Structure 1
């Protein structure tokens, strides 16, 4: 990395960038009042580094002022490319919903990357979520479209929105049609990994360390506690966040709850979370095989992690969405 002391740099919100996309210009980090070149043009920011920046509360990178126009045009093109990926899943007639999803992803990253939870960001996210759910209801959009408002990416922001959309789809498929319930499950799913995003980066560097294990096991409680401090969010939201790693057989964490002790909406988010994680692990295999592997994993559960009475209709709904 090379030092730069010239002041002619402009900040770019990290939430506007896309991991694993070749950069059109050099980018810099501001460290100890100096601009340090971080990546060259044609290089990229990996998903791992992208999420590491999030855990370090890095909200901006920088570009040389003379590269501004080139970079802004590139940002527009990459955003359109990202939206088009979702449009390809749902169809051109649902472009508006694909654009809305993209805006939510950006806001999730900004919210998670901030050093402290910002009430205004949470409020905007809630409004965006409410508008998306209301739009789907008013336009009588097929439920399966909601399940396909997802993007193949392991980044924490994309994953959070994927889980939220899949969770609401499953909730609707199981008869939860009330706007209030759907809003709560959406917000609970969006923030299910907020506590994980707040684990210090040094802890995340060594998965073999007991400190890492403890941090992972406590992230649902940490996330729920932080979210509970925001006025305007219902208790159901924090319950979902706190319970999204609990399992039907009592072998989950952080409280080893089992069976009916686990909130119904938490079960939905837990399943959507596992489903999307498995999809992310198999995304290089193509859509058909990726979804097949994720559904097969759930079919083999047989009442271990998931309530069998709940699992059967969930799998049926997933087959319908991803056949």
Structure 2
């Protein structure tokens, strides 16, 4: 099924399982979500549990946090991730800190679903990947699955988690299809990376939308150059599966970090620092490389938008650079 259908399935299964789970956001009910990610849910669950909200992100986030602290488990459709900037005070100063400040008695189990990334011609104000902002805040969990199966399993775990979770879903991948387990109890634990491909020459660490391109690049460099690439899919950024990353780096001795967010201040910079500070650094045969989006606002023009992102060809070029093949 598609990523879109996996999202609907995960939310529906959890709402059938737990009457405290509900969905809220702009256009989630009658319209079925701006990206079609709640189609049919109003008909099954009714307007009390699939709640259309006013166009006020500050009010939406405040209501969700308050509902969570009184025992409910809200799922918030933020629509474009860019709109989360209006929710920052509530998320960063309230949701992230309540459990700590109240000694565990003030749990805030909210999932903020954010349609992130570029690639659909939505321009500078509707195309950002802002995950690095939230990985900086203790008390928040941040996830970014890159396959339909991972989307379902991780979303279900996020809904069941007693902490606030920022869930990235990529606009350019809503139609991407793959096999998805139909078992209602299928979940994927947060904080566990996945080795999507085994290799021996280079490790590529990535997540979210870039996973698909990294896997394609790995296939092509193996066929054309005989370079064996290991692909580590983080899936969860916070908490980070450091062990999976370091074990792979020690195995291959080379590492490339790829994401579609801007390079400066991006989360992959934190991964580079973590590797450099660990004993895995002594296993490296080449420098750590990062490949990310250019530090410019996302262009509306399709060719310019494509040019600012890591392409399959650029990923291949960086892989070959690490093994000293020009």
TM-score greater than 0.5 by the shorter chain: no
Query: Which has a greater percent of strand?
Result: 2
Higher relative contact order (CA 8 A, sep 6+): 2
TM-score by length of 1: 0.29
